[in-house]
Amino acid sequence: MTADAPRRRASEGVYDRLRELVLENRLPPDERISIDAVARELGVSQTPVREAIRQLEGDRLVVRVPGKGYQTTPLLDRDGLRDLFEFRLLVEVWAARAAAVNRLSNPAPMMRAELDRITSQRDTPLDIPRQLVTHDTRFHQLILAAAGNSVIQHAHEQTHTHLHTFRLYSADADGSFTLAEHNAICAAIEACDPDAAEAAMRAHLIEAYARFSQYFDAEMPPLSEGRIGRLF
């Protein structure tokens, strides 16, 4: 074990804790983060807190404001949510089709294992929203990775879509709709049916957009795969 292993574990623990607080809105959007206060509350030095905050900056959950220090980022607004899901329609519908076409690198066994994992955990007292963030990230990354385009995969990862959307209200509090839609995508890819995989992914993204849109009072505009919005 290297000498810095304990420090790395401390930083990871602080990161996990702060990420949890942000995702659950216990550190609300636009909230100032005091490094000293966090260090005292968690019983650690300021060093792992600073390292954890740098990681959260990379996740775009925390931002440094000149003269004010660090604060949590604001929630996606209406335009940001629409832009994000139009980007996902462009990328993930294609990825689902590509994953279903390539029989040699078909990700269905790993996708099925991930679905089994989250299904078994839903019967435990663990926090469901955090479970769904982890599951959603893994599930969609498996499809992107199988599509075989590292540039698109990296671009998708940089949006941190799962972290941002799960800070919004979702009508799918227990994940039932999400998991049913994921099962449909998995079944189509497993059957090597590119048309069905494409249709299942498109339907999932449109339904997810509708669920997250309920956070906003005003009616949201429909998604368009032909419109390339701002990809922040």
Helix then strand then coil, in percent of the chain rounded to 5, is 65, 5, 30
At residue 195's C-alpha, the angle toward residues 192 and 196, to 5°, is 75
| pTM across the whole model | 0.80
Task: Indicate if the alpha-carbon torsion angle 113, 126, 85, 155 is positive or negative.
Answer: negative
What does each of the 232 residues of the chain score in pLDDT, given as a tens digit?
455 555 566 678 899 889 888 877 788 889 999 999 999 998 999 999 999 999 999 888 899 999 889 999 888 888 889 999 999 999 999 999 999 998 888 999 999 999 999 988 766 655 677 788 889 999 999 999 998 888 888 888 888 877 777 777 667 878 899 999 999 999 999 999 999 999 999 999 999 999 988 888 777 778 877 665 443 3
Domains and CATH numbers, the chain: 5-72 (1.10.10.10), 78-213 (1.20.120.530)
